Amino acid sequence: MATTFNLYTTLYTIVSLSLLILISFPSLATPHTTCNSTLHPSFCTSTLPSDFSGTIHDHSRFFLRQSLSTTKTFLQLISSYLKDPSSLPASTLLALQDCQVLAQLNNDFLSNTLQTISYTDILSPLQVYDFQTMLSAILTNQQTCLDGLHEVTPYPSVTTGLLSPLSDGTKLYSISLSLFTHGWVGDEANRERQLTQKNIDNVNVKEKVVVNPYGSGNFTSINDAVAAAPNNTGTNNGYFVIYVVAGIYNEYVSIAKSKQNLMIIGEGINRTIITGNRSVVDGWTTFNSATFAVVGKGFVAVNITFSQHCWIDQAPSCCC
């Protein structure tokens, strides 16, 4: 009798231990910890049910589903505005149609990502790279839609009704990208360390900073990092090196004359991409619309792609 009892106890212990090991790896995260790492912590905590403890992968899936559902709602809203096109000025109509195409793309990207990661935590490096690119593209598409609406004059009244869902969408997309990166790309601090240890032999480095839009670097935008570089250092006092982690940077970077000896290093061509935000259409000259305007002396950019902002009539996708 005693032996049987011991056997069962032992089995029970083994099973419990195995379960514990299974459950505790990867580790559970509270909504608070998860949301802390995003650009919109309070919006994130108010969206994620407070009793939803899960892995970072579960939280990531949750926000991807929210993103998809917001995108579908937004598409329905646009469709309802477009039901009666004759009631809209032509410029508003065009802007809304652009937003519709962009939101449709976002819908496809999100569905595509969810289809794969709904049932697995394991992705190949190529899949991780593809999904990260798609999720970055979603943010860019959203910004393009918003820019398009803002450019319409006189300001279209329908825009007012779209701003709140667009803003919620942008936050959800940003959180989704951030959590996806945390869950699947891995330790960002480690990636940043690897990036900053890349070989820049024979270069006199004065200071290094990291730009990471999703959290842990010194700055979240390239412009902020450029602004922080010291003024008028002369060209012999070592480089101010700005490491820019992979991602799509929707910003118009311009480097003033006072910024000398600037070196900007990305994670690779087609991985760190700077897209501008102004087109010749707005009345900016071609020089001004160059995404990256360099005036400073001693400027060096490595492993970065510069791309003009893509307007929907030119290329209905993320990055030309």
34 is an interface residue for ligand NAG by CB under 6 A: no
314 is an interface residue for ligand NAG by CB under 6 A: no
Residue range at the interface with ligand NAG (CB under 6 A); choices 80-88, 98-106, 168-176, 266-274: 266-274
- Binders of ligand NAG: how many residues, by CB under 6 A? 23
Q: Tokens at residue 106, please?
A: 């976002």
- Site mask, ligand NAG, residues 35-74, x = CB under 6 A? -x--------------------------------------
Where helices occur in the chain by DSSP H, the ranges are: 2-24, 31-36, 41-47, 56-82, 90-117, 125-151, 157-180, 188-196, 222-228, 286-289
Residue 171: strand pairing partners: none
224 is an interface residue for ligand NAG by CB under 6 A: no
Which CB atom, from 184 or from 252, has the smaller least distance to ligand NAG? Answer: 252
Q: Tokens at residue 202, please?
A: 């024979």
Report the residue from 18, 112, 231, 235 that binds ligand NAG according to the rule CB under 6 A. Answer: 231
**In 10 A of CB 153, how many CB atoms?**
8
Compute the distance between CA of residue 32 and CA of residue 50 in angstroms, rounded to an integer: 8
Which CB atom, from 179 or from 265, has the smaller least distance to ligand NAG? Answer: 265
Site residues for ligand NAG, window 67-96 (CB under 6 A)? none
Which CB atom, from 54 or from 73, has the smaller least distance to ligand NAG? Answer: 54
DSSP designation for 84: S
- Point out the residue whose Cβ comes nearest to ligand NAG: 198
Burial class (CB in 10 A: 0-12, 13-18, 19+), 63: buried
Report the residue from 97, 127, 277, 279 that binds ligand NAG according to the rule CB under 6 A. Answer: 277
Which CB atom, from 66 or from 143, has the smaller least distance to ligand NAG? Answer: 143
Which helix (H) or strand (E) segment holds residue 208: the answer is strand 205-211
265 is an interface residue for ligand NAG by CB under 6 A: yes
Task: Compute the least distance from the CB of residue 230 to ligand NAG, in Å.
Answer: 5
Q: Tokens at residue 299, please?
A: 């400027």
3-state SS track over 139-183: HHHHHHHHHHHHHCCCCCHHHHHHHHHHHHHHHHHHHHHHHHHHH
Phi-psi region of 160 (alpha: psi -120 to 50; beta: other; left: phi over 0): alpha
Task: Compute the least distance from the CB of residue 110 to ligand NAG, in Å.
Answer: 22
Residue range at the interface with ligand NAG (CB under 6 A); choices 42-50, 103-111, 174-182, 227-235: 227-235
Site residues for ligand NAG, window 168-207 (CB under 6 A)? 198-200
Q: Which residues bind ligand NAG (CB under 6 A)?
A: 32-33, 36, 198-200, 209, 218, 228, 230-231, 250-252, 258, 265, 268-270, 277-278, 302-303
